[in-house]
A and B are shown apart, each in its own frame.
Chain A
Amino acid sequence: MYKTTTNSFGQTVIIRTNTDGSTTSFFEEQDNTDYQEYLEWLSEGNTPEEAE
């Protein structure tokens, strides 16, 4: 569901594949609600894949 990669400046970008096939990408920023959901997902013991 989640993958992590780095952008062209070496920062981590998280990519979520949504149920409709779309993707949502975002940074590790506390005021981002997608990142907050990602942290919750991690806290449930999940691990993201690394993007190719």
Chain B
Amino acid sequence: MATTINANNTDGVVITPDTSGELELQANGVTKAKVTANGLQDANGNSLRGGSFRNLIINGDMRIAQRGTSSSSYSSGDTYLTLDRWRSNISTAGTWTMSQDTDVPIGEGFATSMKWDCTTANSSLSANSYLYATQYLEGQNLQQLKKGTANAESLTLSFWVKSNKTGTYIAYLFDVDTPSYRYISKSYTINTADTWEKKTITYAGDTIGALDNDNARSLDLLFWLVAGTDFTSGTLQTSWGTTVNANRAVGQVNLADSTSNYINITGVQLEVGEGASDFEFLPYDVQLARCQRYCVAYGGVGTYEPFGIGVETSGTNASIQLGLPVTMRGSISLTASNVGDIRVSDGSAFAAATAINIDQRGFQQVMFNATVASGLAATKACRLIANNSLAPRIIFTSEL
């Protein structure tokens, strides 16, 4: 119940008070907005918190996948597979295909989701088995949380999820800046198989442990999918505290126990305050640019895709310079694949690359060496292009 203020066509305004401490604004008897202890809400209880970039998660709608849209046979490693910003970590938890999927909740505005599909089951987990999807957040983007102060803000996580496997799942926040680390775990329940459900979880503010105001990893959001007894044998730690492994993922179902299992997640939003607001859709170019702070991928677009221009420095080396589309976070790595399908050409010479390695980097410019077997000439201008192939990739990363 709530006090109502109803503007209608017969009486003008009707005020019906009660003692709930809450207020509903109505038009002809239909609630349009609410004022509650959690602030201003729409008729469905969604927070009407305003402001741009309130979502601390980048690529929460799973639209950007520069590295590729599907990665199969994943059974080990701590890495980025497909979707930008979404890191995966697994150990002894079956084998999976992780992909950008088009299965989405209908009528909510999403086009893509993150899908995990179990291809080899593990129904008898090891104690230290785990599988989770995580996003690392940069400390200088989190100062508004006021973590480690008396004014620490609560955080609300909202997302859509669908799986054939119902039951308890764990989503948690992990502070990597504070000595001994700190985390808070919350459970949610997938109630109905094969049905999109929206989940909302609020985490209390943490008055201990400030997050560093820098460009390094400070806070992680984790979606547990599989957890062995090392992480489940205690009591779920639903308040901020130092790391106790056994309390991390208590109750988590084993999503790896059948090759029929899958899970889709999209619309992930983590925002300051209590109560979730509607998902903040960003323009594609804005979301892409936010991802490119951490990863810029070239290749796979055209069979003669240009990668850069430069100068031949010897008979076997060309120095290529490239401007990056955004300022990257910090130190940059260069990953090159299928380099034999990349050629250095200068109008007369035409040589396939045998190696491509970083040579210099700023935040917005990189220089790298393309090595060939022979055929180049020092001081000649050249270009680096794909050699009638979509296979070669050059990926610059500055991940957290």
Interface positions of A (Cβ within 8 A of B): 5, 7-9, 13, 15, 18, 20-27, 29-35
CB-based contact A22/B330 at 8 Å? no
CB-based contact A32/B331 at 8 Å? yes
CB-based contact B357/A22 at 8 Å? no
Q: Is B235 an interface residue (CB 8 A)?
A: no
Which residue on A lies nearest to B334, using beta carbons? A25
Q: Please measure, in the bound complex, the distance between the C-alpha atom of A8 and the C-alpha atom of B312, giving whole angstroms.
A: 13
Interface positions of B (Cβ within 8 A of A): 215-216, 313, 319, 330-339, 355-361, 368-369, 393, 397-400
CB-based contact B357/A35 at 8 Å? no
Given contacts A25-B357, A25-B358, A27-B358, contact A35 B313 (CB under 8 A): no
A20 CB, min distance to chain B CBs, angstroms:
7
- Main secondary structure on B side of the interface with A: strand
A33 CB, min distance to chain B CBs, angstroms:
5
Further pairs besides A7-B359, A23-B357, A26-B332: 10, Cβ < 8 Å: A7-B357, A8-B360, A9-B360, A21-B337, A25-B333, A25-B336, A26-B331, A26-B334, A31-B330, A34-B333
Contacting residue for A7 out of B330, B338, B369, B393, CB 8 A = B369
Q: Please measure, in the bound complex, the distance between the C-alpha atom of A26 and the C-alpha atom of B335, giving whole angstroms.
A: 9
CB-based contact A22/B336 at 8 Å? yes
Contacting residue for B336 out of A8, A23, A27, CB 8 A = A23
- Which chain B residues border A29 with CB–CB below 8 Å? 330-331
Contacting residue for A22 out of B332, B337, B368, CB 8 A = B337
Most buried by A among B313, B330, B358: B358
- Which chain B residues border A8 with CB–CB below 8 Å? 313, 319, 359-360, 369
Contacting residue for B335 out of A7, A9, A24, CB 8 A = A24
CB-based contact B337/A26 at 8 Å? no
Query: Could you name 24 residue pairs across A and B whose Cβ atoms are closer than 8 Å?
Result: A7-B358, A7-B359, A7-B360, A7-B369, A22-B335, A23-B336, A23-B355, A23-B356, A23-B357, A24-B333, A25-B333, A25-B357, A25-B358, A25-B368, A26-B332, A26-B358, A31-B216, A31-B330, A32-B330, A32-B333, A32-B398, A33-B399, A34-B397, A35-B331
